[in-house]
Structure 1
Amino acid sequence: MAGPSDAGAEYRGGTRGRRVAAALSLVLGLGLIGGAVAGAVINHGPRDEPPVVDGSPEAFAKARQVWRETPVDQIFPRTVRGAAGGPGGADKAWTRIGVAAPTGCTGAFDPLLQRVLAPAGCVRLLRATYVDSTSTTVTTVGLLVTSGEAPAMRALNQRWTAEHLGERGDLLPKPVAFPGTPAASFGDPQRGSWDVQVSADLPFVVYAVSGFADGRAVPDRQPADKATADGATTTPAQAGLGYDATGLASAVDDRLHATVGALLHPTTPGTEK
């Protein structure tokens, strides 16, 4: 898989179409090069369907292989569209500008969030950064592949919900900057809003953190739950940074569930692995 400096090149220059075509060969780990997906549409809501896996260690072990066996475009689509996904019901669209090499989790989160997520463990961390269609905002999306089994993930999910941790202002993931792109200056001071989604039935945590493409710092940063609330007047709320974070995190989470379901239950043509 290409590292940050190589992946950033998919955004630059006048030959973007050829570079995007070349990006079809990028994969999340070792080996499999399959059909890539050109884009995604957000359709995220409460999960009423049965869990994707049965909670057994064997099923969790298979689900963890998604990062090795799935093309990068299938998890982090090159384009994502959100109908009515912005402030006031405005449509949103984002384009991927870089994919980071898979890493460990050290240094990927602020210390307090690192401690909260620690019980779930860390096998691999996958990240990509997007720019919105106006080149105004940038968002890093992360997929934490955990080593924890079903009881650990259920416990973390329940704690996250019961303690309203998604509403706290001190549990932040870190962004990934890509030189030569609108995210070139995307660092910790530029973080404006974020969303963390802890799976209850899969060994994954999906998150997104957003900021401005012009590199300005955001002193009144705010978690997405608050930045998307009615009547919110902070900078992240007015700029729609909470919608960027929630929209992209939800899109990746939805695709992740669908991909794992197809990997574990290949019952229809085109899903066999």
Structure 2
Amino acid sequence: MLGLRARQWMVVAIVLGCTYLATSAIALTGAWATLHRDPTNAELQRAANAEVARRWEAWPAERVFPGRLSYGPPDGDAEYATRAGIVPDTGCEQGVDPELMTTLRKHGCKAVLRATYVDQLEGIVTTVGVVVFADPWAADRAFKELPGAQGPDGGGAKPALRAAAFPGTASARFDDAARQDRTSDRGGPYVVLTTSGQSDGRPAKAIKKRRPGEPFAAAPQIAAAIARTLSLRSLPDCEKSEWRC
């Protein structure tokens, strides 16, 4: 009788062992298939969006702000703005006027990257700021609440992006008092701001009326180029370290 029971328990143990082995094999097969299958379209979209959102800290500053950017009328010869320098500080509060910071803080500003460009004739200086948000929706809400593109005649541009001067360059005299114009653009989770003035550093309050010929026309073109590059989504390549698929 005891021998019969022992054999019965042995059979039960063998059946259970085979069941566990089969379950483990199925689970391992499923895991292997999951790890080696092609990503779905939704996963590719999420990976592309995440890569765009990381660019502000994953890319070198020189890639965010190229050394030269073209500008000019669509039917005319292109001219080039040259980068005078890049601001190492990326704090939101340090990058914009306090009144503007109120709007940016409300929508979750994460950083403000700044660089300054000088036009080809070295007469106009433009500081460009990339304001970083968590996602495109927060960036869009902040963008819609920003003040108009430019300050009133003779009143300068305020609140606006803070000017950034670099000694030894044509931007050396450009400070907040010299800001005469401001623009804003948006791409993905980024809002791109500009503030411009003259390289001689003359204060905006000394300008009684705006100069003819749109002297600050290069600024929105520079901003658009930077916004476009930062927000242009690439096809995911899961074999490269910059992607998280």
Pairwise same-fold verdict (TM > 0.5)? yes
Taking the aligned partners of 1:150 and 1:128, their CA distance within structure 2 comes to: 22
1:64 aligned counterpart, secondary structure:
helix
Contact 1:60 1:150 in 2 (8 A): no
1:204 equivalent to 2:178? Answer no
Aligned-residue offset at 1:168:
5.9
2:19 aligns with: none
2:93 aligned counterpart, secondary structure:
coil
Aligned-residue offset at 1:155:
2.8
1:11-62 per-residue CA deviation (whole Å, 9 max, x = no partner) reads: xxxxxxxxxxxxxxxxxxxxxxxxxxxxxxxxxxxxxxxxxx96x7x87654
Aligned with residue 214 of structure 1, among 200, 211, 224: 200
1:184 equivalent to 2:168? Answer no
Aligned-residue offset at 1:207:
1.0
Contact 2:86 2:116 in 1 (8 A): yes
2:142 aligns with: 156
Taking the aligned partners of 1:59 and 1:110, their CA distance within structure 2 comes to: 33
Q: Runs in 1 of length 4+ with deviation above 6 angstroms? A: none
Taking the aligned partners of 2:150 and 2:198, their CA distance within structure 1 comes to: 21
Question: Comparing both structures, which one devotes a greater share of its residues to helix?
Answer: 2
2:16 aligns with: none
Aligned-residue offset at 1:221:
7.1
1:143 aligns with: 130
1:174 aligns with: 162
1:166 aligned counterpart, secondary structure:
coil
Taking the aligned partners of 1:221 and 1:145, their CA distance within structure 2 comes to: 33
1:240 equivalent to 2:226? Answer no
1:266 aligns with: 236
Question: Unmatched 5+ residue regions in structure 1?
Answer: 1-52, 223-232
C-alpha change, 1:150 and 1:81, in structure 2 (3 Å) is closer
Taking the aligned partners of 2:108 and 2:102, their CA distance within structure 1 comes to: 10
2:37 aligns with: none
RMSD over aligned Cα atoms: 3.4
Aligned-residue offset at 1:239:
5.7
Contact 2:182 2:194 in 1 (8 A): yes
What amino acid is aligned across from residue 211 of structure 1 in structure 2? Answer: G
Taking the aligned partners of 1:253 and 1:83, their CA distance within structure 2 comes to: 17
Aligned-residue offset at 1:188:
0.9
Aligned with residue 183 of structure 2, among 187, 192, 195: 195
2:226 aligns with: 252
1:115 equivalent to 2:70? Answer no
Aligned residue pair count: 195
Contact 1:119 1:152 in 2 (8 A): no
**If you compute each CA radius of gyration, which structure gives the higher value, 1 or 2?**
2
What amino acid is aligned across from residue 63 of structure 2 in structure 1? Answer: Q
2:92 aligns with: 105
Aligned with residue 95 of structure 1, among 69, 82, 97: 82
Aligned-residue offset at 1:122:
2.3
- Alignment TM-score, normalising by the size of structure 2: 0.66
2:66 aligns with: 77
- Alignment TM-score, normalising by the size of structure 1: 0.60
